[in-house]
Structure 1
Amino acid sequence: MDLTEKKVTITYDPDLTGPRSLIKRIQESGRGSDSYGASLYVPPRRRESEQQEEVRSYRNQFFLSCFFSVPVFLFSMLLPMLHPYGNWLDYKIYNQFTIGMLLGWILCTPVQFFIGWRFYSGAYHALRRKSANMDVLVALGTNAAYFYSVYVMIKGLSSDKFDGRDSFETSAMLISFILLGKYLEVVAKGRTSDALAKLTDLAPDTACLVTLDSDGNVIAEEEISTGLIQRNDIFKIVPGSKVPVDGTVINGQSHVNESMITGEARPIAKRPGDKATHVGSETALSQIVQLVEAAQLARAPVQKLADQISKFFVPIVVLAALITWLAWLVPGEVGLYPKKWIPKAMDVFEFALQFGIAVLVIACPCALGLATPTAVMVATGKGASLGVLIKGGDALEKSHKVRLLFWFIELCS
């Protein structure tokens, strides 16, 4: 019992009683001003509320990231090409330290360490498990770009001949693009949840409960909420109306549209004796929703493959960055390429470091890690809205064979 929120939790045997009987007894227990009111509490779907909060969180973070990263992009990539409008960015504050560097550092720092904190957290937990995921790669790539840019900024402050270029826009825009991908992913999940909600909405909100006498004649009819239907209740279904729960036909006959469950386009005749006695979460409709939700949480074989690849992908990327750095460092030290390729006041080590960092940055976004879960979520949700149940990622991957099967059947006929 929760007196603060005025809630009571009751455990009962559904074969003997139900919520309607309990509510009726509570209401009858009081007299006059001491009478009690009671109603059935239907908690909101936890997944939907969490989904909305996740969508709101990623949306706010993406827009906040754009607030800082878009100006950095404009200052670094667009305005310098629009002479004379971007000339003020090259104004030297001290030595080779310019206004453009200062603005890039000021705007990029919140994106890197505050908005992008979730990637640090994800990378930390992954490394604690002795594994590597996309968060590790994002943290490596963006930090490499950011701290190299800080190094360029410090070198510009200390030298009047340094001709290096910062990459603050790369770090900020990478985080913004990845947050955009995450936002699109959770939005796709939200649309899938909407499709599942449409399935739930197929059940009517009310049902016509009837009371029979000893001879089987109807003596009373009452419209009640579907959630208050109990086992062994008798209710009336008029032609054209929806069936609220699974049950047994005891009198009369008609046709029922079962295309949502069986795929049969024609209405199916129902007569006394046809039955499926379940209520609440045990009904066929509720089980369909539960199966689709479970299928969405199941990982597809290609997603498992992506998880396995990511364990080796990150070390390979780091190794490739080191090899690239050495591939430019060693030839530069022995003079295999012209010294004029190296910017002013920059040595061979710094010049080679640029290429190694470029490898980390380019490998940062992992398309497979974003695309696979989104594809499973969208496909199962779309199937649910069309009345097609996809039991998991494995079945989804094999669905491309269905067209060949239909073609073979048509050929044989």
Structure 2
Amino acid sequence: MVETLKSHHITLPIQGMSCASCSARIEKKVGGMTGVQQASVNFGAEMVAVEYDPEQTSSGQIMAAIENIGFEVPRIKTVFPVAGMTCASCVSRVEKKLRGLDGVWDAQVNLASEKATVEHLESRVGMRDFNIALEQIGYKVPPMAMAVGAAEDSAEQRQRQETRRLTRKFVFSAVVSGLIMLSGMQTFISLDPVLHNIWLLVLATPVQFWGGWQFYKGTWTGVKHGYTDMNTLIAVGTTVAYGYSAWVTCFPSALPSLAQGVYFDTSAMIITLVLMGRLLEARAKGRASDAIRKLIGLQPKTARVEREGLEVDLPVAQVVVGDTISVRPGEKIPVDG
């Protein structure tokens, strides 16, 4: 991770990018920070790689800069026991030490349960770093906790939640959009024009403001930070179509008869088709992530390490630089380097 005495490399996951211009904004923002030597965003992998001087900036400042322009740096929560705490001052010392680690966003310690909950970057800091830091101030993470490392909020869970959310919105929007399209055909429904428009307004409203809420949210984020993106285009286009149609429905006499057409089907179908695209994209990313996790899962969970002349089996997280690893014929190599 450390390339020179004054150069650190960090790779951060990013959520909220919708187009290539999002990548350019992140690169410009992070690359312009004091102490950052280089920033490169991979839009497909939703990652940013940053080289920076730790004496001038930190990973926390880089994450804050990314989130200040409307994107999210997902973090995981890891819960693990801490041995050796006896009083409230112990809690304060442990929290202060954990929060001082590079890549840790927040740390909370419960004295009654003797457990610490740490919100951190999975790619930057982990159980081995927590254990080393705590041992420096007289506390310890039990070996079993080092092996398991109970993560409550993983990237896999976030990916599944996002896919389920998009699926619900897409299915609902597709069904309602289909009803709106059918309702526009007199063969299927015959109502007074005013009642017909009210019926379409009732159908289109949840699609516009529930199904399309993420586009409004993305647009507002862009407005606050002075940029526009695909969310702006979708939000403005569908809002104009929906708003004009709602005006015609509520005040039909305010416009001439030739201008009293409604476009609820247009706004609903645009939102539905874009949701479908984002759902397909989320599923494709999920399959790619699953394949990577399966490859990572092939790594052995323990390593046979020589300590004080004896070979002992330790969790991979406890292996440190300088250890001698013993690998027998037919076994997998537990670590690289």
Which TM-score applies when normalising by structure 2?
0.52
Q: How many residues align?
A: 214
- Tell me which of 179, 184, 191 is aligned to 1:91: 191
- Report matched runs for 1:245-284 at 5 Å: 245-246=335-336, 276=337
Distance 1:55 1:151, change over 3 A: same
Aligned match of 2:280: 184
Contact 1:145 1:171 in 2 (8 A): yes
Distance 1:230 1:126, change over 3 A: closer
Contact 1:90 1:98 in 2 (8 A): no
Q: How far 1:103 moved relative to its partner?
A: 2.0
Which TM-score applies when normalising by structure 1?
0.43
Aligned match of 2:10: none
Structure 1, unaligned stretches of length 5 or more?
Answer: 28-35, 214-219, 247-275, 277-413
Aligned match of 1:134: 230
Aligned AA for 1:181?
A: G
Aligned AA for 1:245?
A: V
Q: How far 1:207 moved relative to its partner?
A: 2.8
- Report matched runs for 1:135-150 at 5 Å: 135-150=231-246
Distance 1:146 1:161, change over 3 A: closer
Aligned match of 1:373: none
Which whole-Å CA distance do the structure 2 matches of 1:127 and 1:231 have between them? 48
Which whole-Å CA distance do the structure 2 matches of 1:102 and 1:9 have between them? 52
Instruction: Establish whether residue 39 from structure 1 lines up as the match of residue 145 from structure 2.
Output: yes
Which whole-Å CA distance do the structure 1 matches of 2:302 and 2:202 have between them? 60
Contact 2:248 2:255 in 1 (8 A): no
**Bigger fraction of residues in strand:** 2
Distance 1:68 1:123, change over 3 A: same
Aligned AA for 1:131?
A: Y
Instruction: Establish whether residue 200 from structure 1 lines up as the match of residue 285 from structure 2.
Output: no
Contact 1:26 1:38 in 2 (8 A): no
Contact 2:300 2:334 in 1 (8 A): yes
Aligned match of 2:331: 241
Which whole-Å CA distance do the structure 2 matches of 1:114 and 1:64 have between them? 10
- Tell me which of 176, 186, 193 is aligned to 1:68: 176
- Report matched runs for 1:98-113 at 5 Å: 98-99=195-196, 101-113=197-209
Aligned AA for 2:190?
A: D
Distance 1:39 1:113, change over 3 A: closer
Instruction: Establish whether residue 175 from structure 1 lines up as the match of residue 271 from structure 2.
Output: yes
Aligned AA for 1:174?
A: I
Q: How far 1:202 moved relative to its partner?
A: 3.1
**Higher alpha-carbon Rg:** 1
- Per-residue CA deviation, residues 229-275 of structure 1 (Å, 9 max, x unaligned), is 344444432223210013xxxxxxxxxxxxxxxxxxxxxxxxxxxxx
Distance 1:108 1:206, change over 3 A: same
Contact 2:216 2:231 in 1 (8 A): yes
Q: Which structure is richer in relative contact order (CA contacts within 8 A, separation 6 or more)? A: 1
What's the secondary structure of 2:115's corresponding residue? Answer: coil
- Tell me which of 18, 35, 56 is aligned to 2:164: 56
Which whole-Å CA distance do the structure 2 matches of 1:26 and 1:98 have between them? 71
Which whole-Å CA distance do the structure 2 matches of 1:159 and 1:145 have between them? 16
Aligned match of 1:322: none
Instruction: Establish whether residue 227 from structure 1 lines up as the match of residue 317 from structure 2.
Output: yes
Q: How far 1:177 moved relative to its partner?
A: 1.0
Contact 1:210 1:236 in 2 (8 A): yes
Q: How far 1:141 moved relative to its partner?
A: 1.4
Structure 2, unaligned stretches of length 5 or more?
Answer: 1-90, 92-108, 119-124
CA RMSD of aligned residues (A): 3.9
Which whole-Å CA distance do the structure 1 matches of 2:279 and 2:234 have between them? 16
Distance 1:159 1:149, change over 3 A: closer
Distance 1:18 1:233, change over 3 A: farther
Q: How far 1:129 moved relative to its partner?
A: 3.2
Q: How far 1:104 moved relative to its partner?
A: 1.1
Distance 1:174 1:7, change over 3 A: same
Contact 1:69 1:176 in 2 (8 A): yes
